[in-house]
Structure 1
Amino acid sequence: MKNKLPFIISGVAILIAVGVFFVSRSGRASDLISESMKSASPVRIYAQKAKETYLADKSKRHFEHYDLDHDQKVSQDEYLAGRRRSFKRLDKNQDGVLNFDEYAASAMNRFDQADHNHDGFLNMEDFAVIDNHKGQDEKGVEP
């Protein structure tokens, strides 16, 4: 019996894991785990704070790009000036009109910069580079 005990314990652990998996897939996991436990998860808290920090930083860079006189306010003139700068940056042939190729070139350039091994695909690390380059190359401005 002593020799079978590890197999029995392993079998029970597998059954429990399979049961938890199927319960969570069926949508009844919320019945088993209280809402307070879900919202207090350290991973969930960390992810939420990281998201909030990223969005705040991105918003700050975006705002600073438009706030030309650094008075912590963006006037209509400042806003339009920022949009004009973005338009001019995208209008490669300076004809006053954006065609699709000019508009898409910015996104393709970021993709190419992020695709380190040039295989035409982005892995998780490559994908993170897109946001970094976007903030540096465009100074936080989105078309």
Structure 2
Amino acid sequence: MGRFLAGAIASLLLVTGAFLIWQGRAQGPAVPAAPPPRLAANVAPISLARIPRALTADPASKEQKRFTRADKDKDGRITLAELVDPRRKAYAKLDLNQDGKLSFEEWAVKTIEKFNEADGDKSKDLSAAEYATTAPKPKAPKPACSCG
């Protein structure tokens, strides 16, 4: 008896589902036809001005500009001294005992100092806001003109 009842209910659900699907077919609203274009009888053709030539790009590539910045004496060659000198000041700040060698301990001292400065609440860990203070400071933008 239970199987007969379950079969009847399943058949009824199947017929109901088919009916709902059949009734639910989308029949969108009819789209009205587009109106005819309104053209003036005496419309003169529009003449457009010629587009001027596009500006040419700077011939110096990024690599050429980088080379020019590194070539301090502008002789067309980069010596080892020209390449190393700009980094001496930053290296000297880390070389605490001034022996010309940067040990792990010397690097770690600066890193620990930076961590302790950023740890405002002295909790021995950095929150997101505290860590954000360790980001390198952005360089000031160069003025667009030398007008002072």
- TM-score bin (small chain): 0.3 to 0.5
Higher helix share: 1
Max radius of gyration: which structure? 2
| TM-score relative to the length of structure 1 | 0.39
Name which structure has the greater RCO, CA cutoff 8 Å, separation 6+.
Answer: 1
